[in-house]
């Protein structure tokens, strides 16, 4: 039986939570499964190994006796009888409705009970026939949001998040690099440009004339079917639904082919038009001046042909990068090695999985100088938010740890809720005791654009406001961003010297690349942070860095590239 990975177990528990939620079951029961899923997904070791060792699963946060039994059942059988039973009592596509913006469990249940809507197709038909207007609580704005959400869902149903596709691509590349005759194997396509979501995986390999790379590719494990088979190009469909395309080329063509299939289409078209003006030709096989081939072994050859700087893949979206490359004026994009600390993470004080000290030691192992502990405050009860007394206890623990830990400094902070009226979820005296604040909207996502914007602007007027966390509240493929005037928010941030967060959680990547570029142009600093809830989550920084690079951010645009003394000086300036 194939090994059951933590992600699969977490997906099963989240599915249970969804089905129970639709049924209107006990909310504490629903939350228990969601918390267990989060624990499992963030745990640094595989549940399979723990079960094999006889480890007491109930010692893990959020794992009780019943859930521990279910984990063991999944590990040992690959299935869960309880989930199978729940599935039999629900239409198979009902859960898809939860992924439509505006439709939570209660509304899905209403649609199911009153209109017998069990799938996206049913929902579209009901919308077309004007039936939703008859459901209590379904006003014009909500119906319009649902209509737009269906289109988004249709588009995203065939796409995979960067964090889902990249590990698969890296796994395949690692295998193919070891095959006989393989010289270079690289990821191409939108995945190489690190887009938030991708349709498929494109790979390009430079091989010797005699090689067995394609044979290995067509015999990879977890293949559902071979879509197309050829000597130089094949396409497979994996069991997880991802399509993977591999092209084999000679070493002399590798750079041109990699560039061609990396894209973007708009970037490539602009270069081809420039080539025509210079009586040149660029395609996937190389670069020609008349009939003479003048390059193609390296990507750099293409840019050298125009006397341009090399353009990093993340920037190849035809947003002005070509003109800057011609002037040799491209930004020097941020690197992960520039990061000196992480300013957003959670511990067992709220909804994190481990104590403060463990997070600090892991951050130190990553080479960081500092971290900020930002557990939730009291308003967010679902995340075990701390009251002022609990926060004070945490601050005392941080003081004690800073006395004993070497090579890492723990900054005092909290993820403070921005309430509906724009006030912050802690008293001014408590906020004044913190080194910085990470302030977030966690409720009332459906306020009007004017009210949501004013809510955030008022919060930013608080002298203890430092960073606006996950500024648009989106969850990729699950929740649309709330409606705010981002230009007004950035102007206010510039006015007060506070910062916006680029949340590196792969489900968020919030800010998006366009807003990152806007912040840079406005002169607002960004904090690239992981929002870590476990030790493993600290490794998510790379996703934030890629998003920052797509937004053209440089080292000086990101606050947590500063040394500890420089950061502390800046924070004192913001607090006045």
Instruction: Please report, for the domain that includes residue 545, its CATH number.
Output: 3.20.20.140
At 154 the pLDDT is 64
At 155 the pLDDT is 57
- Number of neighbouring beta carbons within 10 Å of residue 313: 24
Round the CA-based radius of gyration of the chain to a whole number and report it.
26
Domain boundary among 156, 173, 204: 156
Q: Are residues 284 and 426 in the same domain?
A: no
Q: Are residues 132 and 165 in the same domain?
A: no
At residue 487, φ and ψ (nearest 5 deg) are -65, -40
Q: Are residues 345 and 434 in the same domain?
A: yes
pLDDT tens, 466-480?
999 999 999 887 778
Q: Token pair for residue 400?
A: 């004690």
Q: Which CATH number is 184's domain given? A: 3.30.460.10
At 2 the pLDDT is 58
Domain that residue 320 falls in: 254-326
Q: Which range, of 108-122, 162-176, 234-248, averages the lowest pLDDT?
A: 108-122
Over residues 202-218, mean pLDDT = 94
Q: Token pair for residue 375?
A: 């557990």
Domain boundary among 326, 356, 375: 326
Q: Are residues 413 and 428 in the same domain?
A: yes
CA dist., res. 76 & res. 103, Å (int): 35
Q: Are residues 520 and 422 in the same domain?
A: yes
At 142 the pLDDT is 85
Give the position of tokens 């009332």: 444
| Number of domains, the chain | 4
Whether residue 145 is contained in a domain is answered as yes
Which residues on neighbouring strands pair with residue 422, listed in sequence order?
Answer: none
Whether residue 373 is contained in a domain is answered as yes
pLDDT tens, 19-62?
898 888 888 899 899 889 988 877 778 899 899 889 999 988 88
pLDDT tens, 143-172?
888 887 777 666 555 788 999 899 999 999
Which of the given ranges, 10-14, 98-102, 233-237, 381-385, has the highest pLDDT on average? Answer: 233-237
Q: Are residues 462 and 380 in the same domain?
A: yes
* Strand ranges, E, within 426-517: 438-440, 467-468, 499-503
Whether residue 494 is contained in a domain is answered as yes
Q: Are residues 218 and 269 in the same domain?
A: no
Whether residue 383 is contained in a domain is answered as yes
Over residues 103-114, mean pLDDT = 83
Whether residue 265 is contained in a domain is answered as yes
Whether residue 1 is contained in a domain is answered as no
Q: Is residue 466 within 8 Å of residue 574, measured between CB atoms?
A: yes
Helix (H, G, I), strand (E, B) or coil at 345: strand
pLDDT tens, 287-330?
999 889 999 999 999 999 999 999 999 999 999 999 999 999 99
Q: Is residue 247 within 8 Å of residue 233, measured between CB atoms?
A: yes
Whether residue 212 is contained in a domain is answered as yes
Q: Are residues 27 and 11 in the same domain?
A: yes
Q: Which helix (H) or strand (E) holds 67?
A: helix 65-77
CA dist., res. 464 & res. 439, Å (int): 10
At 306 the pLDDT is 94
pLDDT band at 394 (very low <50, low <70, confident <90, very high): very high
At 153 the pLDDT is 66
Q: Are residues 275 and 192 in the same domain?
A: no
DSSP string of 68-84, one letter each residue: HHHHHHHHHHS--HHHH
Whether residue 260 is contained in a domain is answered as yes
Q: Are residues 480 and 531 in the same domain?
A: yes
Q: Are residues 439 and 571 in the same domain?
A: yes
Q: Which CATH number is 146's domain given? A: 1.10.150.110
Domain boundary among 100, 126, 156: 156
Q: Are residues 362 and 314 in the same domain?
A: no
């Amino acid at each position: 039986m194939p090994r059951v990975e933590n992600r699969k177990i977490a997906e099963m528990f989240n599915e249970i939570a969804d089905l129970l939620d639709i049924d209107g079951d006990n909310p504490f029961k629903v939350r228990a499964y969601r918390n267990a899923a989060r624990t499992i997904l963030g745990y640094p070791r595989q549940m399979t190994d723990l079960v094999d060792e006889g480890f007491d699963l109930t010692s893990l946060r959020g794992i009780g006796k019943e859930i521990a039994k279910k984990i063991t059942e999944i590990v040992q059988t690959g299935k869960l009888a309880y989930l199978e039973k729940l599935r039999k009592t629900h239409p198979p596509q009902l859960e898809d409705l939860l992924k439509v913006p505006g439709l939570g469990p209660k509304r899905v249940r209403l649609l199911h009970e009153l209109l017998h809507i069990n799938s996206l197709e049913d929902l579209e038909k009901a919308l077309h026939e004007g039936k939703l207007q008859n459901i209590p609580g379904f006003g014009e704005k909500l119906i319009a949001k649902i209509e737009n959400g269906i289109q988004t869902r249709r588009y995203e149903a065939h796409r995979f998040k960067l964090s889902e596709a990249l590990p698969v691509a890296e796994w395949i590349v690692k295998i193919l690099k070891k095959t006989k005759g393989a010289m270079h194997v690289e990821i191409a396509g939108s995945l190489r440009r690190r887009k938030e979501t991708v349709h498929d995986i494109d790979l390009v390999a430079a091989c010797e004339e005699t090689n067995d790379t394609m044979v290995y590719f067509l015999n990879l494990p977890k293949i559902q079917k071979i879509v197309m088979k050829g000597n130089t190009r094949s396409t497979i469909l994996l069991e997880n639904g991802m399509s993977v395309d591999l092209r084999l080329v000679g070493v002399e063509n590798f750079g041109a082919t990699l560039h061609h299939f990396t894209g973007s289409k708009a970037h490539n078209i602009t270069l081809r038009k420039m080539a025509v003006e210079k009586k040149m030709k660029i395609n996937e096989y190389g670069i020609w001046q008349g009939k003479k081939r003048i390059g193609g072994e390296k990507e750099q050859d293409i840019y050298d042909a125009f006397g341009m700087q090399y353009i990093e893949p993340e920037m190849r979206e035809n947003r002005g990068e070509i003109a800057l490359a011609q002037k040799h004026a491209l930004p020097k994009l941020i690197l992960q090695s520039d990061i000196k600390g992480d300013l957003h993470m959670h511990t067992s004080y709220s909804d994190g999985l481990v104590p403060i000290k463990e997070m600090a030691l892991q951050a130190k192992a990553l080479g960081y100088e500092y971290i900020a502990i930002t557990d939730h405050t009291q308003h967010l009860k679902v995340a075990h938010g701390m009251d002022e007394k609990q926060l004070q206890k945490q601050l005392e623990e941080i003081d004690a740890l800073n006395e004993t830990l070497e090579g890492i400094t723990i900054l005092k902070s909290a993820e403070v809720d921005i309430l509906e009226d724009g006030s912050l979820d802690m008293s001014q005296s408590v906020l004044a005791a913190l080194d910085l604040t990470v302030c977030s909207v966690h409720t009332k996502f459906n306020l009007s654009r004017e009210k949501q914007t004013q809510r955030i602007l008022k919060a930013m007027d608080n002298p203890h406001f430092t960073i606006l966390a996950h500024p648009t509240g989106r969850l990729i493929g699950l929740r649309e961003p709330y409606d705010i005037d981002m230009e007004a928010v950035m102007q206010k941030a510039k006015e007060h010297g506070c910062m916006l967060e680029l949340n590196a959680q792969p489900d968020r990547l919030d800010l998006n690349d366009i807003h990152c570029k806007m912040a840079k142009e406005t002169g607002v600093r960004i904090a690239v942070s992981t929002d870590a809830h476990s030790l493993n989550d600290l490794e998510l920084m790379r996703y934030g860095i890629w998003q920052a690079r797509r937004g053209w951010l440089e080292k000086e645009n990101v606050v947590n590239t500063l040394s500890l003394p420089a950061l502390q000086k800046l924070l004192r300036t913001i607090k006045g």
